[in-house]
Amino acid sequence: MDDIMGKLGELLSDEESVKQLAELAQMLMSEGGGEGEADGEAPAPDLGAIMKLSGLMGAFSQSDRNAELLLALKPHLSAERQKRVDKAIKLLKLIAVWNIAKESGLLNDIL
- Report DSSP state, residue 45: P
> How far, in Å, CA of 71 to CA of 5, rounded?
17
31-68 confidence digits (pLDDT tens)? 545 444 445 455 555 666 666 677 677 766 777 899 89
pLDDT over 70 at 2, yes or no: no
71-98 confidence digits (pLDDT tens)? 999 999 999 999 999 999 989 888 888 8
Query: Cβ distance 80 to 92 under 8 Å?
Result: no
Rounded to two decimals, the pTM is 0.52
C-alpha 109: how far from chain center: 17
